[in-house]
Chains A and B, each alone.
Chain A
Amino acid sequence: MKALSRLLLVFVFLVCVSSLIIAQDEPITLTVLTHDSFNVSEDVLAAFQEETGIEVEILRGGDAGQIVNQSVLTAGNPLADVLYGIDNTFLSRALGAGIFLPYESSLLGTVDSRFLSEAVDYVTPIDYGDVCINYDVAYFEENELAVPQSLAELTAPEYEGLLVAQNPATSSPGLAFLVATVSEFGEDGDYTYLDYWSDLVSNDTLIADSWSDAYFTYFTAGSEDGTYPMVVSYASSPPFTVDEETETASTESIVADGMCFRQIEYVGILAGTEKVQAAEQFVDFMLSEAFQADLPLQMYVFPVVEDIELPELFAEYAQIPENPVVVDPALIEENRENWIQSWTETVLR
């Protein structure tokens, strides 16, 4: 009896301590809802907090799709003050639901004009990244294979069983790549994007569920067990495959025209917040040189502000496609379901 009571006491004590461990760092003030990949250097954020006196709380809500949905569902009584990480594939949904307060940052003039659209009344572009095919350099050299320079080439016999892509229904690069093929081959005519996909599948392209799964399980340069030397990934991934001793990257991106899809990420102030001024300051901070220069190494994306110096690793090993695929966000929102549905039927057949 005594032993039990003592154990129970210890247990209850532990539960209380647990609550304290977790509760101790409960912060206050400006809340930013963002996706799980969000990251920033400690000193950069600390400088902002010191300068403005605004404490920043980061709230992570899953992937880009999830945070947009959460914001749409809570329109008017938002989870946070600021939403960062909404990209051009989901932008239309959010604008349609009217979840943002209008704001135009005074720093918008520094942003490369390619990233500006009517949407900037409500959201501010912060960074961009290109979804491109990455390939295993060693494999292509050893097998004396030419690197494909167009999407169409991927269906050629020499690339049979070499590519792993992702399911657009569950993966954001998967959807981006699908949109790139729609843009390249079109929806009507003799050879549509669906014909292309059925050729890809007959050429033994593997469809994985997520980026992690494709990259770390099936890609030869990402996993010891992988057997596919090409993977749909990001143009910013190769810098992270650099061998420090030989100073060479084991992977490269294929950035030929029409082979990459550009994702642009935005920040917006959520309607219903009581901290409009602080939120505006935070948006300005995200366009500041300090934050923009910090982006590449923390989130593997490129700054939208012009003339930001890229870190050496990026300047040297990350390629930026000159003519990526750009598709109107409204068109994507309108056709997403249809494209994915048709794609699923084609690939499953």
Chain B
Amino acid sequence: MNNIWRWGRYGLVVLPLLFFGLFYLYPVATIFDYSFRADGVFDLSGFASIATSAYYRDTLVFTVFQATLSTFFTILLVLPGAYVFVHYKFPGRSLLLSMSTLPFVLPTVVVATAFLALIGPRGLLNTALMDLFNLEAPPIQLTHTLTLILIVHVFYNYSVALRIIVAYWSGLSSRIEDAAAVLGANRWQMWWRIRLPLLRPAIVAAALLVFIFTFTSFGVVLILGGIRFATLEVQIYYQTINLLNLPTAAALSLIQILIMLLAMLYYARLQRQMSSSQTVVPIRPKSASTWQQRLFVGGNLFVVIVLLLMPLLALIVRSLWIDGQFSLEYYTLLGENVRNSVLFVPPMKAIANSIAFGLMTTFIAVVMGTLLAYLVGDRLVNTRVGRFIDPLIMLPLATSAVTLGLGFILALDEPPLNLRTSWVLIPIAHSLVATPFVARSVLPALRQIPPSLPEAAQVLGATPFRIWRRIELPLISRSLIVGATFAFAISLGEFGASVFVARPDTPTMPLVIYRLLGQPGTENYGQALAMSVLLLLVCLGSFLLIERFREAGVGEF
């Protein structure tokens, strides 16, 4: 019996490694090999041309600069917000938490539209201000500025940081804070000496994710920044798609991966130093009682609502407002094949496809991500492999989607793995982005579990599965739910390389939106907005369901 468990464990370890080896390392190695090897000779001239070009240096500096700023502002705004969500009860708390994740799934073009409707020269805010103060020119002018890039980066990533930190914080013991309060710590000391150090694992994890996402930012920088701003990812895209200059593209891609790897190594070291375990007496949220507390809670909710929900609201209004009156015309048009086109997609079909891919992605990512977290946390097999794998698990997020897309096409071209044009590649591509997310989300919670707990259970004769099911799963469930939510969102938003591989006609909601936006005429535009709103609704519904999953199934004890 013991032997089965032991070998079973090794089997479980091999599973995620096989997945990443096959669908990440192999394609990426293939495309790099193809790019650098010209006529059988290894040619690294791509690096030389980059090293000597001031243009690429500027691009690199700007990429790091905007990612650092974006991360800083995101975390700064999220911390008080997270405090409110952890410590206070208020009506609509879990709904708001779910809704905060919505921006994550929206295509960039749609987000650009939403922001323009809100703060553009003729947007709601500017018109209101101009009326109010009798201004000649719109007071807010953000078109193609760094400020706009930063605002939208915070808009996209707020929920990532919020949910990771809230999940971790809720699992922290309230005893230390209570003790500090009894000993007379003031508010400042409370944050600096108690909360921030305690939260460091979650903050660093969130910051790393936000940093990676904004470092590799593509659409936001392209569309909202205009041509003055370009990230490495934009350069890689341009060198690949426009010029098919693979040596330079691959060199840039490799540089991006190496920089991200440095960030991850640093992060992994930090996390290991801090992994502390403690007995859990979770913080119980209470209602805001004094007016200061109410003000604090209200102020933070205001930020969430203004920053995250106003642009979404502007989008909804636009999709319903036609020629000065409310109408559902754009929504009904979605269901009509006006031009008798062979590629017409009934909205239900697109929704079904999106949800189907979402479910598959969530399944793969939750299984692989959890296993990966156990492997890295050295909880599954007591080896020292975890230490080496830890910094590597985020690599798919750091790899340019264009590079990976071409890698798929080149590497997976022979039976039995001729998946180049199969729909199977879509959930796989989504899972590559989603799995590290789940793993990163679960790891801090896993490390919080004191080893004495499962050990005690083992002494009492519990089987490994029973220990996992009754002790560990409940303790990581909160983080697992966050990971699953984002895995689903990543798939619904079509993240990653799936956009860059040729696919048979299994259109998802974002693809339908892109298609509609590629055609002139206000009806097409209106339908794209209507489809975006449907995408939001499907997401919200799914997020709420995922929350239910936790309450019903794993729950806390």
Residues in chain A within 8 A of chain B (CB atoms): 1, 3-4, 7-8, 11-12, 14-15, 17-19, 21-23, 25-27, 31, 33, 36-46, 57-63, 65-67, 69-70, 72-74, 77, 79-80, 93, 167, 169-170, 206-213, 215-217, 222-227, 233-234, 237, 240-241, 297-298, 300, 336-337, 340, 344, 347-348
Contact = CB atoms under 8 A, between A and B. Distances in A.
Contacts of A57: 504-505
Contacts of B519: 37, 240, 300
Contacts of B360: 15, 18-19
Contacts of B328: none
B228 A348 contact: yes
Contacts of A59: 421, 502-504
B409 A70 contact: yes
Given A79-B421, A227-B122, 16 more contacts: A22-B356, A41-B341, A58-B342, A58-B504, A66-B500, A69-B244, A69-B406, A70-B406, A70-B502, A74-B410, A206-B144, A216-B517, A216-B525, A222-B525, A336-B242, A348-B228
B327 interface: no
A38 B343 contact: yes
Contact of A65 (B241, B318, B514): B241
Interface string B503-524: 1111000010011011111101
A241 B520 contact: yes
Interface residues of B, number: 72
Contacts of A207: 226-227
Interface string B197-233: 0000000000000000000000000110011100000
Given A3-B552, A209-B226, A42 B520 contact: no
B357 A18 contact: yes
Interface in B110-130: 112-113, 116-117, 120-123
Contacts of B333: none
A21 B240 CA distance: 34
Contacts of B504: 26-27, 57-59
15 contacts: A4-B553, A19-B360, A27-B504, A36-B515, A41-B342, A58-B343, A59-B502, A74-B413, A210-B109, A210-B223, A213-B112, A217-B113, A217-B116, A225-B117, A227-B122
Contacts of A23: 423
B244 A72 contact: yes
Q: What 8 A-B pairs have minimum CB-CB distances, sorted nearest first?
A: A18-B356, A61-B502, A240-B521, A237-B520, A212-B517, A4-B553, A240-B520, A209-B222
Nearest to A227: B121
A18 B359 contact: yes
B241 A66 contact: yes
B356 A40 contact: no
Question: Binding site of B, secondary structure by majority: helix, strand, loop or mixed?
Answer: helix
Contact of A347 (B112, B227, B413, B511): B227
Contact of A45 (B120, B342, B511, B524): B342
A211 B518 contact: yes
Nearest to B349: A21
A151 B243 CA distance: 27
Contact of B469 (A1, A22, A209): A1
Nearest to B31: A73
A15 B525 contact: no
A74 B409 contact: yes
B501 A61 contact: yes
A21 B501 contact: no
A22 B223 contact: no
Contact of A337 (B223, B245, B409): B245
Nearest to B413: A77
A170 to B, nearest CB: 6
Contact of A42 (B117, B318, B341, B514): B341
A336 B511 CA distance: 29
B363 A11 contact: yes
Contacts of A26: 423, 504
A65 to B, nearest CB: 5
Contacts of A167: 227
Contacts of A17: 356
Given A23-B423, A33-B502, A344-B227, A169 B238 contact: yes
Contact of A58 (B144, B357, B500, B505): B505
Contacts of B223: 208-210, 213
